[in-house]
Structure 1
Amino acid sequence: MASETIGIIAGGGQFPFLVAHGARELGMRVAAVGFTGHTDMTLGESTDAFRELHIGQLARLIGFFREEGVKRIVLAGAINKPRALDIRPDFRAVKLLFKLRTKGDDAILKTVAAELESEGFSVVSALALVPGLGTPAGPLTSKAPRESDWDDLRYGWPKAKAIGAMDIGQSLIVKNGMVVAVEGPEGTDEALRRAGRLVGPGCVLVKVYKPGQDDRIDLPAAGLQTVRTMIEIGASCLGIEAGKSLFFDLAEAVELAERHDIRIIGLTPEEMGGE
């Protein structure tokens, strides 16, 4: 029996590579679409079929996946806000834009997912396909958060949930009971750097799953690069929601964090006082 071909709509970073690797380890073929200026095109070397497109070429994307016999699709990796010159919307994409009531990241991605499903594809969560990428619950470093870290984690959790509910971001940075930076379109690393410039070392990063979030779309994620940026600004602790987030290069990230006395913990709603 022929193996299933999984489709990947690939943004930037290592996430698409990890999904491709995980799918191939499960014996699946991988067909991926990458976007000019956003995707690392060496992804093609890790897939069985690959197509480079411009953002907005929706009809060509659908056609490629049909040609490859794809039934299930994973959205993997961030796509930074593109410049106008990077976008090449075809007629189908233009029609899709008119369906949008808001322009938040989730709204756009949900609309794209719905359009793909109207064509008979199934858009699935990366965690369903590669569960090993999920963040475990509890302390991930040998040392648990300090009491001062816990104070900032508890303070930041409900506020991170609130900004998530407004589709602003998934992360915020707290120091001494004060929110010092909120993640926006620039991403977590730049939000951390902004916090470091404002208040110096000792910050706590809180990263959560947005209330009502579609788990197929833009899951919260951390990894080795997150820890590197935390070291850069002298951050103290990372708390990330367990089970509903992705953690890349976990072993390497934990080892690096321990060398710099950064505490990492997978948080649950139960211990943080609810959703």
Structure 2
Amino acid sequence: MSEQNEVIGIIAGGGQFPLMVADSIRKQGHRVVAVAHHEETDPELAHKVDQIVWIRLGQLGQLIKALKKNGVQKALMAGTIAKRLMFKIKPDLKGLTLMSKIAIFHDDGILRSLAKELEKEGIFIVSAASYVPELLSPPGCLTRRKPTKKEKGDIEFGWRIAKELGKLDIGQCVVVRRGTVLALEAMEGTDETILRGGKLAREKAVVVKVSKPNQDLRFDIPSVGLNTVESMSKVKASVLALEAGKTLMFDKAEMIKFANRSGIAIVSEAG
């Protein structure tokens, strides 16, 4: 089968990303086979792909079977899996075997191990972003308002903290103000981190979201969207700093429009 007519697998989580990737892949002339997760993946995905198989989190054997049965040799991961489901996981035998090999259940460790298992079966994981490069954040200030000198200092400070946090594979987002760390992202996710840190700041918090050092862009790419700046607005946060080319921006136009209306500065800088 030529590269112009491949069968691409999507290991789909929640949110709009799997649907957007599926649309893009099919427009490029490829067939799409999705393995979707109950309680997470949008059922609308079924209308965007050529074949869909539903599994529960941890059913690695079923995932591999579905991809191989449909001739998938190249697959990608797209979408979110709520951390709460990690406590409800019911693995099959293949999934249980994989879990027994993982010492610490952090995102990168789990996903890298999954990718290695799939490679053993002849299925290679590629970056979802390669099919939708237009979603990656461009460099520069993306809003009318630019950060002040003090805010730039907080961006630099928060950036260093976020990179250290990433080394531990815990989270990708920090909230700071006046050189003080107010919140670090953990299991709750970015929006809750913003609300928690923003309430402590009372106003003018700076939110920094970056990729982890040596980030594997095949999975767990940092992402932001309209909901991100809406959360910031609720706590009167003032700046969102992103890593250029390594952050997915969903609803970019609406996001920037809302930020401009709310007086929020969005900057995208090289790592």
Q: Same fold (TM over 0.5)?
A: yes
Tell me the distance in 2 between the aligned counterparts of 1:31 and 1:159. Answer: 39
Which residue does 1:212 correspond to in 2?
Answer: 214
Percent sequence identity over aligned pairs: 43
Which residue does 2:12 correspond to in 1?
Answer: 10
Pairwise CA distance, 1:83: 4.3
Per the alignment, in what secondary structure is the counterpart of residue 145 of structure 2?
coil
Tell me the distance in 1 between the aligned counterparts of 2:131 and 2:44. Answer: 22
Per the alignment, in what secondary structure is the counterpart of residue 259 of structure 1?
helix
- Number of aligned positions between the proteins: 269
Q: Identify the match of residue 239 of structure 1 among 228, 238, 241.
A: 241
After superposition, residues 187-226 of structure 1 pair within 5 angstroms as 187-226=189-228
Q: Identify the match of residue 26 of structure 1 among 22, 25, 28.
A: 28
Contact 2:46 2:52 (C-alpha < 8 Å) held by counterparts: yes
Which residue does 1:273 correspond to in 2?
Answer: none
Pairwise CA distance, 1:233: 1.5
Structure 1 stretches lacking a partner, 5+ long: 270-275
Contact 1:54 1:86 (C-alpha < 8 Å) held by counterparts: no
Pairwise CA distance, 1:20: 1.2
Pairwise CA distance, 1:85: 7.4
Per the alignment, in what secondary structure is the counterpart of residue 83 of structure 2?
coil
Pairwise CA distance, 1:164: 0.3
After superposition, residues 125-204 of structure 1 pair within 5 angstroms as 125-204=127-206
Tell me the distance in 2 between the aligned counterparts of 1:53 and 1:159. Answer: 37
Pairwise CA distance, 1:247: 1.0
Moved more, 75-84 or 159-168: 75-84
Contact 2:175 2:198 (C-alpha < 8 Å) held by counterparts: no
Relative to the length of structure 2, the TM-score reads 0.95
Which residue does 1:89 correspond to in 2?
Answer: 91
Tell me the distance in 1 between the aligned counterparts of 2:247 and 2:76. Answer: 15
Contact 1:196 1:234 (C-alpha < 8 Å) held by counterparts: yes
Structure 2 stretches lacking a partner, 5+ long: none
CA root-mean-square deviation: 1.5
Is residue 270 of structure 2 the alignment partner of residue 256 of structure 1?
A: no
Pairwise CA distance, 1:196: 2.3
Tell me the distance in 1 between the aligned counterparts of 2:79 and 2:204. Answer: 29
Tell me the distance in 2 between the aligned counterparts of 1:68 and 1:171. Answer: 38
